[in-house]
Structure 1
Amino acid sequence: MFKGLGGLGDMAGMMKKAQEMQTKMGEMQDGLADIHVTGESGAGLVKATATAKGDLIALDIDPSIFQPDEKEMVEDLILAAIKDAQSRASDKSREEMMKMAEQMGLPPGMKLPF
């Protein structure tokens, strides 16, 4: 009559694991704000720094590129540096997610969040 109740313990364990994973996921998301990556363009003339969450936090432009007749080139370099920083931020975030999944014993290649 109570044969099916044996699985409730497993279900409780799974729920506990899910809550732990949710907590760890939140901590990892918060930690991404503390990880900084730098993208650059123009052989380092323009550098953009972002958090692993993708938030732009700094922009460094070498003053030698400020020529009035090269405004479009400077704009292109700035955009390229920002895109590079955002790409690196995305890669770093994905790397951190994979580390967390590994620590939790999830199969390789399983993407988080579900």
Structure 2
Amino acid sequence: MEQERMKSMEEMIQAAQQAAETIQTQMNEAQAKLDAIEVEGVAGGGLVKVRCTAKGRILGVSIDDSLMKPEEKQMVEDLVAAAFNDARGKADRVSNDEMQKIQSGIGLPPGFNLPGMG
């Protein structure tokens, strides 16, 4: 009887380890996918654009030539900050959507925060 219980516990532990490895693999794939998805933040009606990945890595900044005047310096700085914030917000939304898809795919409840992934 005791041996059966020990064997059952060993099987449960092994199953838990396999599940953890599967989740880690899926999370690594998700992180790679997020770094491949591009979003664009825009400010000033498109005068300033910031491209970044859904993971938050900045890919590029575009500033319209009409803003390249010394007297427009403060406005350009403000528009660049606004475009970065717009891009960051879009990246966060895409990232959250992707992570929810993965969590539901592996049977985790909505809003469950895996360590290192939130």
TM exceeding 0.5: yes
What is the match of residue 80 of structure 2?
A: 78
SS at match of 2:36: coil
What is the match of residue 97 of structure 1?
A: 99
Q: TM-score, normalised by structure 2?
A: 0.87
Offset, 1:63: 1.4
- Structure 2 residue runs without a partner (length 5+): none
Q: TM-score, normalised by structure 1?
A: 0.90
Larger helix percent: 2
What is the match of residue 52 of structure 2?
A: 50
In structure 1, what is the Cα distance between the partners aligned to 2:111 and 2:34?
20
What is the match of residue 23 of structure 1?
A: 25
The count of aligned residue pairs is 114
- Structure 1 residue runs without a partner (length 5+): none
Q: Is the 8 A contact 1:98 1:111 kept in 2?
A: no
The one-letter code of the counterpart of 2:3 is F
Deviation per CA, 1:52-81, whole angstroms, max 9, x where unpaired?
110110111121222321210111101110
Offset, 1:3: 4.4
Q: Is the 8 A contact 1:28 1:96 kept in 2?
A: yes
Q: Is the 8 A contact 1:39 1:84 kept in 2?
A: yes
For residues 8-19 of structure 1, what are the structure 2 equivalents within 5 Å?
Answer: 8-19=10-21
Q: Is the 8 A contact 1:34 1:51 kept in 2?
A: yes
Give the % identical residues: 39
